[in-house]
């Protein structure tokens, strides 16, 4: 792990990895979208509206996954003063917020024809909304200080405190009598979803994951280059 604390080393290997991630992302999302729209059958109860699932479910997975990455990176940055981990956490936050917003919007689009309402204060929906606010709070807190290190430290603490919301999101449908359906893929025993729908869903989920990795690498590389440029300008200013 400490090998990648060196920004130059990170820039080297990420530059090699980025084209492969981008290509794999494009292929998986194209294939997954085709299978979801034209190959997967409509649901016997939901009809064609079930196709929203192929965006909503991967977005929901990524909303929690990205927050987990952000929290883990924050812990590494706090404990070991890992500079690249700090950047990974900060650059993950807007991406996670985007996935969470997509999850909420797509869920509302599905809920209106299925439940007859755009929104209910269901335990799952409410906990995901809290997750969205945690992302926004992290972004605001990191940028609220004139000294970047203080903002990074405060944001890292908030990210770690917010981890308690992840198991609530996961198990809310089991702990409370909620309107949201229980898990159908990641559950004890075999998935309850048909294979004709499961495979497009899994392909889209992997595509979303690689999409996040691709964007994260681009954002981290941009942040490191911007930091290097600021350091060079500061040296020139001090030398003048």
3 falls in which pLDDT band (50, 70, 90)? Answer: low
Longest dimension (CA), the chain: 73
190 falls in which pLDDT band (50, 70, 90)? Answer: low
Instruction: Report the chain's mean pLDDT, rounded to a whole number.
Output: 89
For position 188, what pLDDT does the model report?
Answer: 47
Q: Check: pTM over 0.85? Answer yes or no.
A: yes
Tokens of 223: 């942040």
Question: Which residues, other chains included, contact 159 with Cβ-Cβ below 8 Å and sequence gap of 6+?
Answer: 67, 70, 71, 74, 89, 134, 138
- Rounded mean pLDDT of 130-146? 96
Interval 29-48: pLDDT, tens:
999 999 999 999 988 778 88
């Amino acid at each position: 792990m400490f090998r990648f604390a060196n920004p130059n080393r990170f820039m080297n290997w990420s530059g090699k990895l980025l084209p492969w991630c981008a290509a794999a992302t494009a292929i998986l999302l194209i294939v997954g979208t085709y299978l979801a729209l034209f190959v997967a059958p409509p649901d016997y109860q939901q009809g064609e509206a079930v196709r929203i699932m192929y965006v909503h479910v991967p977005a929901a997975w990524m909303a929690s996954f990205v927050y987990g990455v952000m929290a883990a990176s924050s812990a590494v940055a706090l404990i070991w003063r890992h500079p690249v981990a700090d950047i990974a956490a900060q650059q993950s936050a807007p991406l996670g917020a985007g996935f969470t917003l997509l999850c909420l919007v797509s869920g509302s689009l599905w809920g209106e024809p299925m439940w007859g309402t755009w929104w209910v204060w269901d335990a799952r929906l409410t906990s995901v909304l809290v997750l969205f606010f945690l992302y926004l709070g992290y972004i605001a807190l990191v940028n609220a200080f004139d000294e970047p290190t203080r903002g990074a430290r405060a944001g890292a603490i908030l990210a770690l405190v917010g981890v308690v919301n992840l198991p609530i999101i996961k198990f809310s449908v089991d702990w409370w009598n909620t309107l949201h359906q229980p898990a159908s893929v990641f559950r004890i025993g075999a998935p309850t979803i048909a294979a004709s729908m499961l495979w497009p869903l899994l392909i889209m989920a992997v595509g979303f994951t690689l999409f996040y990795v691709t964007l994260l690498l681009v954002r981290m590389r941009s942040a490191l280059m911007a930091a290097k440029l600021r350091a060079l300008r500061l040296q020139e200013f001090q030398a003048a």
